Chain A
């Protein structure tokens, strides 16, 4: 039996190795430059195949404290500014995303599929929305409010999806009916029973949409006019203007942020699954 499979076609003999090779190459392609960026940010030179002159923190110092030339702002102010803007976006996302996720998960209604499509696919990408914002809200652009509103629309799908996955693991109808039969009004049921039960998804959605809002470049690039640059613009200035290894350090700051977020999400995810069991 096994013999027949082994001696058979080309795909039986090489199929598995081929698929494994594709996987290995993909992993290498995606992970290798990330690792090299992080490693080279501690190097002082990179002229040959591999960076040399380890270990120096000069590049990191330039990024963290600023250099005074080229991309002269320190990362701290950009990071703080983007943190604030993205937090504003998350607050709006919570207000708009949790209810619509509940509507789609709990009720059957006419046009439900299309509501869902609009909730999980952004209407327009960053660059198109940026062009639309330029003249529509010119006064808001300079204050950063336009960025907050734009981020919230662009990243709302991530919140909706995360909260939906939480809702899908709950018996919503039963929970709602139990609470109602015990005398809670419907708004009270929603706010004090449904929402707290979906907190895993809500926290995960907040973290994801916060990170992606802080990383949003296309929209920020078009709408941002002056003042402290958001984090993505800071990265862009570093990649285009600063020395190569400084740029590597700036991008590494961003990697660390994403790594932190990924770890946090995994901790939350595990705790959530333990509680559900």
Chain B
């Protein structure tokens, strides 16, 4: 048994040495190609390790720290708080249902929009496309400001309704409520969902749709039984992307404050007494959850999910 281990270890180390040797001085064309691939991926890997993996590992270590200003000791206090305290469980629940609801809402809007863009002859299509992709480059704080412009105390919509109904505008304004936050979320989510759905829509087989229509299916039936199965990978891809986006939103909710979500609480841990261990524990939970969710869900789609 022991000799087995030794020979196994020896075999592994000699394999590693051989791999390294073939990378440094390759002898076959295949080995040269592997060296090229490795050297092409190397700069990105270095960046990923230095600015991604290493800080995240450090954050993981801090989440167990007993002391606040230096990382020392080991305690699972922060995680126990997250599990036991109903305050945090409530925040987790808020974050998840709100992200799920906004994701479903923005995909339900994005599907008809992608449909219209692909199937209908629209005037000024390039302008429409620019408008639809413009919010992708806006940070969350600007999306929040857009909602204030529409539904805030001096917002256009608020004042228009106040003018018609005669109520006070502060009674109508809902930008700082949950509904306002909902609109702010979908302001940045609809364009994201479209990014993916438009790609999927352009690959839909139109012959099958025309066949279904000429066989007597209504447009809705055609969509339900012919188009929908074909755009399913795009829908799942859009769900992954938009749900991730929704969980990561921070600037928007920092301004509107409609709902206490996970990211806002992370900031509050820092702002109220610099409790970095708790903030790190929350960020770690966030990271593990979203990482696991993405890896798991990517199995169910062939669509290329990218930001």
User: Which A residues are within 8 Å of any B CB, using their own CB?
Assistant: 4-5, 8-12, 15-16, 18-20, 22-23, 26-27, 29-34, 36-37, 40, 46-50, 92, 95-97, 99-100, 102-103, 107, 109, 115-129, 131-137, 149-150, 152-153, 156-158, 161, 186, 208, 211-212, 215-218, 221-222, 232, 235-236, 239-240, 244, 247-248, 251, 254, 258, 261-262
Contacts and interface: CB of A to CB of B under 8 A. Distances in A.
Contacts of A153: 47-48, 51-52
Given A29-B187, A30-B187, A261-B137, 19 more contacts: A12-B218, A22-B112, A22-B116, A23-B128, A30-B190, A49-B160, A107-B36, A121-B307, A122-B307, A131-B280, A131-B283, A135-B71, A157-B307, A161-B306, A218-B251, A218-B263, A221-B250, A235-B139, A248-B149
Interface string B138-172: 11111011111110001010011001000000000
Given A15-B220, A22-B109, A215-B139, A236 B40 contact: no
B204 interface: no
B9 interface: no
Interface of B: 32-34, 36-37, 39-44, 46-48, 50-56, 58-59, 62, 71, 109, 112-113, 115-117, 120, 122, 128, 130-132, 134-135, 137-142, 144-150, 154, 156, 159-160, 163, 183, 187, 190-191, 213, 216, 218-221, 223, 244, 248, 250-251, 254-255, 263, 266-267, 270, 276, 279-280, 283, 286-287, 294, 298, 304-307
Interface centre among A117, A118, A217 (most CB of B within 10 A): A217
Contacts of B71: 135
20 contacts: A12-B218, A19-B112, A22-B113, A23-B112, A23-B117, A26-B113, A29-B183, A97-B44, A99-B40, A123-B56, A126-B250, A127-B283, A131-B59, A132-B56, A132-B283, A135-B71, A136-B54, A186-B32, A222-B270, A248-B149
B283 A128 contact: yes
The dominant DSSP class at the B interface is helix
A2 B298 CA distance: 43
A26 B122 CA distance: 15
Contacts of A100: 40-41, 43-44
Contacts of A92: 47
Nearest to A119: B44
B188 to A, nearest CB: 10
A217 to B, nearest CB: 4
Nearest to A93: B47
Contact of A27 (B128, B160, B248, B279): B128
Nearest to A134: B276
Q: Please list the 9 inter-chain residue pairs (A to B) with the smallest Cβ-Cβ separation, ordered nearest first.
A: A11-B220, A125-B248, A132-B55, A103-B40, A9-B218, A120-B306, A33-B146, A132-B59, A99-B40
B103 to A, nearest CB: 15
A135 B277 CA distance: 11
B33 A107 contact: yes
Contacts of B156: 32-33, 36, 49-50
Contacts of B138: 215, 254, 258
The dominant DSSP class at the A interface is helix
A36 B250 CA distance: 24
Given A15-B219, A26-B190, A236-B251, A135 B213 contact: no
Given A27-B131, A135-B62, A152-B51, A37 B113 contact: no
Given A33-B146, A258-B137, A262-B134, A124 B56 contact: yes
A244 B152 CA distance: 11
B280 to A, nearest CB: 6
Nearest to A50: B156
Contact of A30 (B51, B117, B135, B216): B135
B306 A121 contact: yes
B146 A34 contact: yes
Contacts of B145: 33, 37, 239, 247, 251
Interface centre among B128, B142, B216, B220 (most CB of A within 10 A): B142
B134 A117 contact: no
Nearest to B224: A11
A232 B113 contact: no
Contacts of A34: 134, 146
Contacts of B141: 217, 232, 235-236, 239
A261 B133 CA distance: 13
A127 B248 contact: yes
B163 A49 contact: yes
Contacts of A137: 55
Nearest to A152: B47
Nearest to A4: B216
A36 B219 CA distance: 37
